[in-house]
């Protein structure tokens, strides 16, 4: 049984100089592929149920699927609620086997965000699981603009909420379909100088692989959320499978053909950040 909390996998990452991939799930096919990829890389993985996933599949079902995969995996697997917006939603995730709650109060005034996130962190810790919060707002490609994280506010947020990990806005954007974005390393360093907490990058698909690898080993960024590039791999594989034979209708046979391409894409995302800096030095 390798069910893990967020703190279980991020504290070693912070200590040893690597990061853990938080992979955004939409259904059974991708979450199963992600665990296969993590096992192939011998690395921990965070399975994430975001708002669109929860809209499609109820939390009790997602919790059962996450736990089933984690309990049979050979690597640590975290069952993570991504962008929880209400106390009730976080309670429901906790009651259904999730081992990590991400409360997103980033659109709210600072003091309200701190107070509400602290409440979720206390709820999580009493149950023996972890909590992630967000300070600063990470925007969306073609949508809402970002509001960068202020280092002083980040320090207050980390201190007053007691979260196990803190998502920050440092040039990252959700739903970016290329890897042409660049994170603001000076702002990251300023936040690190005032905090001692694992940091999280949402919208990791927009960050070049080389910068992900560098920051995983040279900064306190211990978790990269990856979704868009994996959804693109799934969509391309599904389109190819459907178009290969217009007479085929069995969804199980069609969906099987998404497995290997999604595993390959997930392995790329995991391997970019999961190698500790000591091993990176040993292997050049």
CB atoms within 10 A of CB 252: 6
Which DSSP letter does residue 197 get?
S
Residue 139 near residue 173, CB atoms below 8 Å: yes
Position of tokens 């992900």? 212
The dihedrals phi and psi of 100, each to the nearest 5 degrees, come to: -155, 135
Residue 225 near residue 200, CB atoms below 8 Å: yes
CA distances (Å), 282 to each of 214, 276, 278, in order? Answer: 16, 10, 6
Residue 79 near residue 99, CB atoms below 8 Å: yes
Say what the alpha-carbon torsion angle 243, 246, 247, 250 is, to the nearest 10 degrees.
Answer: 40
CA 175 – CA 40 distance, rounded (Å): 26
Element (H, E) at 3: strand 3-4
Terminal-to-terminal C-alpha distance of the chain: 34
CA 131 – CA 185 distance, rounded (Å): 25
Radius of gyration of the CA atoms of the chain, in A: 18
Residue 162 region, left (φ>0) first, then alpha (ψ -120 to 50), else beta? left
Confirm whether 82 is a catalytic residue.
yes
Q: Which of 30, 82, 150, 164 is catalytic?
A: 82
Which DSSP letter does residue 174 get?
B
Task: List active site positions.
Answer: 82
């Amino acid at each position: 049984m390798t069910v893990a909390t967020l703190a279980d996998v991020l504290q070693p990452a912070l200590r040893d100089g690597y990061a853990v991939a938080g992979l955004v799930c939409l259904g059974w096919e991708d979450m199963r592929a992600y665990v296969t990829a993590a096992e192939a890389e011998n690395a921990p993985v965070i399975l994430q149920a975001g708002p669109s996933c929860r809209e499609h599949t109820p939390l009790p079902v997602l919790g059962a699927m996450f736990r089933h995969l984690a309990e049979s995996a050979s690597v640590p697997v975290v069952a993570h609620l991504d962008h929880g917006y209400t106390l009730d939603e976080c309670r429901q995730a906790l009651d259904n086997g999730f081992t990590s709650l991400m409360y997103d109060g980033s659109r709210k005034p600072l003091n309200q965000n701190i107070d509400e996130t602290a409440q979720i962190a206390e709820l999580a810790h009493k149950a023996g699981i972890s909590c992630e919060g967000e300070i600063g707002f990470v925007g969306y490609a073609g949508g809402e603009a970002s509001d960068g994280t202020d280092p002083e506010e980040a320090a207050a947020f980390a201190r007053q909420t007691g979260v196990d990990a803190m998502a920050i806005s440092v040039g990252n954007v959700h739903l970016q379909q290329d890897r042409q974005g660049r994170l603001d390393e000076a702002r990251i360093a300023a936040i690190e100088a005032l905090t001692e907490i694992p940091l999280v990058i949402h919208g990791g698909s927009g960050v070049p692989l080389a910068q992900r690898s560098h920051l995983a080993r040279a900064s306190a960024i211990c978790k990269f959320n990856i979704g868009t590039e994996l959804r693109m791999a799934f969509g391309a594989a599904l389109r190819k499978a459907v178009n290969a034979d217009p007479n085929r209708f069995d969804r199980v046979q069609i969906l099987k053909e998404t497995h290997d391409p999604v595993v390959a894409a997930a392995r790329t995302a995991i391997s970019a950040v999961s190698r500790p800096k000591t091993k990176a030095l040993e292997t050049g």
